[in-house]
A and B are shown apart, each in its own frame.
Chain A
C-alpha cells in the first residue's frame, strides 16, 4: 500500500525546501498522477500524461540509439528546466525548476528524492 499522505508531504517538503524548485509530480508510467505540487494554471492530468510520454520516448531513444538505460531526461527552456527521473518500475518523477536554479544542486536533490521514493514503491 502506498502511503499517499507521506508521498504528498515528501513532495511538498521538496518543493518548499529546495530553492528555485517550482513544482514536482510523481506519476505512473502510463501517465496518471500519484501526487503533485504544481503551480497554478498547470493541469495535473496533462502534466502526468506528458511526463509519462516524454520518459517513455526518451527510454526508447536510449535503447534504440544504444544509450543504455535512461536515468534522467532534462528539458532546458529559456525560462526554466524540467527534469524527468525514473523511480523504479512504478513511478516517474517530474521536477520543474526556475532558470536561475543551480543545476548541480537540483540534480543532487532530485537524486536524493528519487532514492527515497524508490523505497516507497518497492
Chain B
C-alpha cells in the first residue's frame, strides 16, 4: 500500500490511496460496478459500440472508467475500469501496472466470454503480482453457469492449482459491490 497526498475533506492531506482495477470481458458489468459505488461522478469514456458489442449494449468503454470511494478519514479507494475488448489491451497494461489489487468480472450467463476472461487474467498475471479476486456477475440471468463450473472453465479445476478468491457480485447493487471490494481488500 502507498501513502500519497490526495484532496480529502479538509483540503490536501496525507492519505492512503489504494488503486483497484476492475477488469473482465465485454458486458461483464465493469462500468456499472464502478458507478454503483463511486462517491464522485464517474469519469467514463463511453462511445457507441459499432462492433459485435452493439448486439449486447449500446455503449462501450474505450479508455477507462474512474471512480473514488473514501474509506474513513485517511484512506481512499481509486477504482479504474478497463475496456473489455482485447484491441484495448494497451489500456489493460497501463492500468494494471499501478494496481494494488484487481477484480476480474466474469458474466456467468455468457460462457463464450470465459475464454476472454482467461486471456485477460493471463495478461494481468504476466504484469503484476497484485492479488486478484474473481467476481461472477449475471448469476441471476437465464443460462447462468454455477460458480463451481465456471471455476473449472477458467482453469481452476485441478486441486493442484491454487484458486483465487471467488465472489458473487451484482454490479447494479452498491451493497453487493461493496462486499466484493471488501473481499478484494482482505486479500491485500
Contacts and interface: CB of A to CB of B under 8 A. Distances in A.
Interface in A13-35: 28-32
Contact of A29 (B44, B47, B53, B88): B47
Interface stretch (A47-55, A69-77, A114-122): A47-55
Mostly, the A contact residues are helix
B45 A30 contact: no
A80 to B, nearest CB: 19
A32 B43 contact: no
A40 interface: no
Contacts of B85: 31, 49
A49 B47 contact: no
B63 A30 contact: no
A46 B88 CA distance: 7
Given A53-B63, A64-B43, A31 B48 contact: no
Interface string A61-91: 0001000000000000000000000000000
Contact of B47 (A30, A50, A54, A64): A30
Contacts of B63: 52-54, 56-57, 60
Given A57-B45, A60-B45, A32 B62 contact: no
Contacts of A46: 87, 90
Contacts of A57: 45, 63-64
Contacts of A45: 87
Interface string B16-46: 0000000000000000000000000001110
B43 A53 contact: no
A29 B53 CA distance: 14
Interface in B45-86: 45, 47-51, 53, 60, 62-64, 83, 85
24 contacts: A28-B47, A29-B48, A30-B47, A30-B49, A30-B50, A30-B51, A30-B53, A30-B60, A31-B47, A31-B87, A46-B87, A48-B87, A49-B62, A49-B85, A49-B88, A53-B45, A53-B62, A53-B83, A53-B88, A56-B63, A57-B45, A57-B63, A57-B64, A60-B44
Interface of B: 43-45, 47-51, 53, 60, 62-64, 83, 85, 87-88, 90-91
Task: Give 5 closest A-B pairs by Cβ, nearest first.
Answer: A53-B63, A56-B45, A49-B87, A29-B47, A30-B47
Given A30-B62, A31-B88, A53-B88, 13 more contacts: A29-B48, A30-B60, A31-B85, A31-B87, A49-B87, A50-B90, A52-B63, A53-B83, A56-B45, A57-B45, A60-B43, A60-B44, A64-B43
Interface of A: 28-32, 45-46, 48-50, 52-54, 56-57, 60, 64
